[in-house]
Structures are given as structure tokens and as C-alpha cells.
Amino acid sequence: MKGNIIALDQGTTSSRAIIFNERGEIVSIAQHPFPQIYPRPGWVEHDPMDILSSQFGALAEAFEKSGLESGDIAAIGVTNQRETAIVWDAATGKPVYNAIVWQCRRTAPMCDRLAAEGLGAYVRDKTGLLIDAYFSGTKISWILENVPGARERAERGELLFGNVDSWLIWNLTGGREHVSDYSNCSRTMLFDIDRLSWDSELCRVMGVPVAMLPAPVTNSAEYGRVAPGIKGLEALAGIPICGSAGDQAAALLGQGCVNPGEGKNTYGTGCFTLINTGRRSVRSVSGMLTSVAWNVGGQTTYAMEGSVFNAGSAIQWLRDELGLISSAAESGEVASSVPDNAGVYMVPAFTGLGAPHWDMYARGTIVGLTRGATRAHIVRAAMEGIAYEVKDLLNAMEKDSGVRLPALRVDGGASVSDFLMQFQADILRLPIDRPAMVETTAFGAAFLAGLSAGVWSGLDEIAALRRSERIFTPQMDEETASGYFKQWQRALKRSLRWETEE
């Protein structure tokens, strides 16, 4: 039956491929990790060829495990880590430099200069964003300035830029299609989110030739087909690529948040809270961002977003660098082995702070240590720190919108932790709604592809397919929860602008 959709879910630490049937059920899944590169403190890179090989490998494995024939696949959808910038040779497909990852802080000085020149209001008005090293625009500029000959080659039309969605689609189509969906375009700091086009003035200011940028496209349409001759993917040649969205927009859709006022939080490498604002591209006064969520059938839906740069990465740090836990799954068990945090608080600002503080120079902090603090207290403080950061975001979002969410839908790796989800409910004073099918990011991309391919007929169908697995309600008394958050805010002040203090 030709009702199956393949979703490519290219993330910060691994590439996955998931095949869904028309009921939204997982047929097969494969995941391939790839290396992280840290050339200097605050710098984060990926080898674009690692991204490609891991994603193609996961795709081939998922298809083989499914037992399906190519004729059973209706389309492919793409979702990806956003803001990660790749520049490659248009003729050879060879990257001119490593991918500069969304977490990377190397362009903070350039952002400071742009802000000092008074461009903040223009950037916010056109792009819905704030000036920050998080976004792709200054990363492109850095590559063009620091790779010998790159600027001249870009101006001659020899180089192409893309976020990861563009990189995957270009390679899947054999270099035929250089496109980027509106949700990914809106995370570059170069895109007018109301006109849905590149802004020539921002491109000029950041020194990015418009000719190297991908063509902006809707989120649900046929962009091209898998080219013949791709090693390992020969059986998939000719299958259309019909949907694309940045990971957080895809997760918002995959959670069934199709109506204004509905919201979700993804607990991944970072934390990303999005609220559907409908047809209005609302500008924040509290440090939130506005982006295109999706454009389907000519109608654009916008989202307000708060971004935490380090969430799941804090758990990885406990495991990989400190050796306090042997697996991420162990973190909740260790955290709950003590009755409280014993006054220990952690701010996981390893690569600066995102919304609502936007401090590129903040750094991670652990405070409140005493001789009685144990491994379990530090693990607990790291997990609690994630929940405090989400509360920080939602407080600012409520200030902007005047609307309090009835519940927060959750997904992402850390959402499987009952400890974290219960603590999140306690701190937010909100129900936390965890879905039965947690692969919401991939399913959002699959749904967009399926809409174009005719597997589904409208956005309301995705809301009907969603089911809750568990709803966590506040159990801690409000006074205790408020006291914890106030103490964490004291810790937060210790981490702000750490690298610039004398």
C-alpha cells in the first residue's frame, strides 16, 4: 500500500530515519550518531559529510528493516537541526568548511557590532529574531571571511549556502534542487517572515551574496525526487521529497498544535518552547522569537518561540565529561534518590543563554555546593535546571501574549524522564501532556510530506491522530515551588556575561 512516509530527522548529535504508515504508526526506525567537533571553547562544528553519511545510512537501514518495497513509499519528509550553516561548492558538492552548528558562539563579536550599529529594531521587524550568533547569517559571513577565496567564489556564484534541510535535499536530488522551506529560512536572520523572501539589506549588511542562498519554498510540496545512483539508496530512486520543516516547527505540528494558543516544549540537546500564534507574526517585547511554523496551501502559520541552548546536553555532560551517570536514562533514577537538591543549583549555560536573556557570554554555573553535596545532588540540580529554564521562557511568553497555556505538550529525549516531567509540572503549575508517540518531530515532517502526496488531506487530521500517554499534574505545594525558582534565579545571575566581567 502506497501510504507510508519516510521522515529524515537530522539532529545535532545523530541522524535518524523513521517510516510511518497512514495511521501515524512507526513501521521502522534507525539512528546513526556522528561526532561533535569543538575547535575552541564556545565553538561547535560538524563535518557536513558526517551529517550526510549518517543520514543516508539511517535511511537505508530503516527502509531495509521495514520490509517494504519502494512502491510502498509515497514520499519523503525532512526535518533538521536549524541554524547550522553549511557552505559548499556548487559544482563538486564539497563543503568549503565544517558546518558551524547552531550552538556555536564564534560570531558573537560580529553580533555585538551589528547591535552597536543600531540594527536591532530592523532585524526584529523584518525577521522576528534578535541579533545573536545563534542564527545562520553571521555564520555564513564568518565562513566567507575566514576561508581563503571563499568570498570571491561566492560572489561568482560558485558556492551555495544551506541550513541542513538544503544540504540534504540538494544531495538527495543529485544537486538538482537548491531550496529551503520557509521555517528554516526564517532562522537565518536574513529572511523577511512577512514577505517570505530574502531581505537584500540584511544580506548586504552581513556580506552574504543573495545568489548563494536557496530558493524559499512552502513546507508541503514536491521539491524533487531521489536521484538514481546514490550509494545505498538505489532502491529509493524516484521517490518524491515532499515536505520539510525545521525540527521545532515540525514538532509543533507533530504535537497537533494546529490552533492558536496551543504550545509544546521539546527537550532535546536544547529546549525549545513554541506557541502557535496563527496567521499573526507577533513581535515579542520579552526576548522571544517569531518564526514561520509552516506554510501549507498558501496559508502561513507563525509561532512564538523561546530557545534554551543547553538542556539534554547538560545530561550528556554529566555522563561523558563528569562520569556521574553511565547513561542518560539513569539521570532520573539518580536525581530521585535524594529528597531535594540540598541547595545545589545549576545553570547549564555552556554556550551562552538564549531566551529571554540572550547573553552570548554567559557560561555554565553550579552554586550552593557544600561538603554534604553528593553526586546525586549535582545530577538533580542539572535536571531541575532544565525545568527552571522552561519556566523562564513561559513566564516571558505569557507577558508577551497575555495568554496562559492550558497545558504544555512535551516531546524529545528527556521527556521520557518521569522525574523531570513531574518536576516541570510542579514548577510551571501546569499539566504536562506527554504523547503516546514521542517521535513528534519526525512525524511533523512526515505529515507535511504526506499532505503533498495525498496520504492525508488536512492539518486537522494530525490533531486527531495524537494520543496522550500520561499527563503530569502539579504535586508540590506552590510556596515550595516558588522558593526553588527564586533560588535558581539567584544562580542565574552568577552566570550572566561571565566572559566579559573584569
Annotated binding-site residue numbers for ATP? 12-14, 269, 312, 316, 413
Residue 396, all three cell numbers: 516571558
The β-bridge partners of 353 are 359
Q: Strand 179-181 vs strand 197-198: parallel, antiparallel, or unpaired?
A: unpaired
Q: If we measure between CA atoms, which residue out of 101, 249, 237 comes closest to residue 167?
A: 101
Show binding-site residues for glycerol: 82-83, 134, 247-248
Give the whole-angstrom CA distance, residue 138 versus residue 208. Answer: 9
Q: Quick one: cell of 45?
A: 562544528
Q: Residues in the chain, how many? A: 502
Q: Which helix (H) or strand (E) segment is 278 a member of?
A: strand 271-278
List the one residue out of 100, 83, 284, 307 whose CA is nearest residue 191. 83
CA dist 430 and 264 (Å) reads 12
Q: Provide the annotated binding site for ADP.
A: 12, 16, 269, 312, 413
Calculate Rg over the CA atoms of the chain.
22
DSSP 359-382: BTT---EEE---TT--HHHHHHHH
Consecutive H or E run containing 335: helix 330-335
CA distance 295 to 298: 6
Per the annotation, binding residues are 12-14, 16, 82-83, 134, 247-248, 269, 312, 316, 413
Question: Which stretch of DSSP H or E encloses residue 55?
Answer: helix 48-66
Please give the helix or strand (H or E) that residue 277 lies within, else none: strand 271-278
DSSP 282-297: PPPSSS-EEEEEEEET
The number of helices, as runs of H, and strands, as runs of E, in the chain is 16, 23
DSSP for 129-147 reads: --S-TTSHHHHHHHHHHHS
Return binding residues for sn-glycerol 3-phosphate: 12, 82-83, 134, 247
